[in-house]
């Protein structure tokens, strides 16, 4: 009897020790496995999405997204501009370049009723003549990508910049996206000139980016027809710009109701199963740039296939 009790105690003690060892060792093994893995986890808080326009190798400004850590509007604008500075420590995607000259700083930013006033240091005037207009375009489009900003006023040392630093082309005191971006002129006379901005796809350092091109042309048609014709064309004037929209794509119907744009296209807009992402983005960005809407209802022969939000 005593022997049996002793064996029972030994068994219970051994089992308890074994159980404790298992509980202790297994979590350690799991933790070490994750600690030694190649996965990097980045924790972010209080961040919002922003857009900036950087200069690509093809000398076109391209749209790219960033995270904004600031919450105050004036600080967000400063953060956006920091990506555009050559001397910034911000890491830019391969193949994309800043547009502000070396040494430039932002002295002050104020915002009032949708107008952002940005006061730069005098180094802004040292911009290369070849990119001075691109610089202005990039500043305007990057700042007005913020939902609450509609206009930008550029100052240098407290004085309004009334002309481009080198070519002396006149600038308005308050600049909007009507200034255009990556401008192309296809006009034969001064009458009936229409301005339309179309987004194309560009591959830079094996990454896809979207490039807005503002076209000035003698064409009095509705802008959506010009957009579709340009994206569906088998010929694009610039080899670095692409469109995946089929040349067989045609408009069946379109209309705007309040803040919604309805667009009905034929079957050619579809890929094998659905609309290609590249087509969705070039169409969406182009429509939002030219029409004051927040949503696009994309149809194929009367049936809604995609709801695109701004």
Among 264, 190, 199, 188, smallest CA distance to 226 is for 199
Helix ranges, the chain (H): 2-35, 73-83, 132-143, 223-232, 277-290
pLDDT for 112: 97
pLDDT tens for each residue of 2-45: 344 444 444 444 444 444 444 444 443 333 333 333 323 333 44
Angle at 292 between CA 150 and CA 289, to 5 degrees: 75
Q: Please name the residues in contact with 294: beta carbons below 8 A apart, sequence gap of 6 or more.
A: 259, 260, 309, 310
pLDDT tens for each residue of 59-102: 999 999 999 999 999 999 999 999 999 888 788 999 999 999 99
Across the range 263-273, mean pLDDT stands at 91
Q: Which helix (H) or strand (E) holds 2?
A: helix 2-35
CA distance 59 to 134: 9
Among 157, 52, 145, 67, smallest CA distance to 104 is for 157
Question: From start to end of 69-114, where are the E strands?
Answer: 96-97, 106-112
pLDDT tens for each residue of 113-151: 999 999 999 999 999 999 999 999 999 999 999 999 999
Look over the chain and give the mean of its residue pLDDT values, rounded to a whole number.
Answer: 87
pLDDT tens for each residue of 160-199: 999 999 999 999 999 999 999 999 998 988 888 999 999 9
pLDDT for 48: 85
Whole-prediction pTM = 0.83
pLDDT tens for each residue of 238-259: 888 999 999 999 999 999 999 9
Cα 238 to its chain centre, rounded Å, is 21
Beta bridge partners of 256: 261
Phi, psi torsion values for 165, nearest 5 degrees: -55, -35
pLDDT for 76: 97
How are strands ordered across the β-sheet holding 251-257?
251-257, 260-265, 295-300, 303-309
pLDDT for 46: 58
Among 31, 53, 63, smallest CA distance to 202 is for 63
């Amino acid at each position: 009897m005593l022997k049996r009790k002793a064996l029972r105690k030994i068994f219970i003690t051994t089992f308890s020790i074994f159980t404790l060892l298992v509980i202790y060792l297994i979590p350690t093994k799991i933790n070490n496995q994750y600690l030694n893995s190649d996965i990097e986890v980045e924790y972010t808080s209080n961040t919002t999405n922003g857009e900036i326009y950087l200069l690509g190798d093809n000398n076109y400004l391209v749209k790219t997204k960033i995270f904004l850590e600031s919450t105050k509007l004036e600080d967000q604008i400063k953060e956006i501009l920091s990506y555009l500075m050559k001397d910034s420590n911000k890491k830019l995607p391969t193949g994309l370049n800043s547009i502000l000259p070396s040494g430039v700083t932002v002295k002050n930013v104020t915002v009032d009723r949708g107008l952002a006033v940005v006061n730069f240091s005098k180094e802004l005037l040292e911009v290369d003549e070849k990119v001075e207009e691109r610089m202005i375009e990039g500043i305007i489009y990057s700042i007005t990508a913020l939902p609450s900003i509609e206009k930008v006023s550029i100052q240098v040392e407290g004085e309004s910049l009334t002309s481009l630093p080198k070519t002396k082309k006149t600038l308005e005191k308050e600049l909007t996206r009507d200034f255009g971006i990556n401008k192309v002129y296809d006009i034969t006379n001064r009458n009936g000139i229409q301005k339309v901005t179309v987004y194309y796809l560009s591959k830079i350092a094996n990454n896809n980016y979207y490039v807005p091109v503002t076209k000035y042309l003698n064409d009095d048609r509705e802008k959506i027809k010009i957009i579709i014709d340009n994206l569906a064309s088998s010929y694009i004037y610039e080899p670095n710009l692409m469109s995946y929209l089929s040349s067989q794509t045609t408009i069946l119907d379109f209309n705007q109701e309040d803040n919604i744009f309805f667009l009905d296209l034929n079957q050619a807009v579809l890929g094998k199963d659905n609309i290609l992402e590249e087509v969705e983005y070039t169409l969406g960005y182009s429509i939002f740039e030219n029409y004051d809407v927040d949503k696009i209802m994309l149809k194929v022969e009367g049936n809604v296939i995609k709801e695109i939000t701004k």
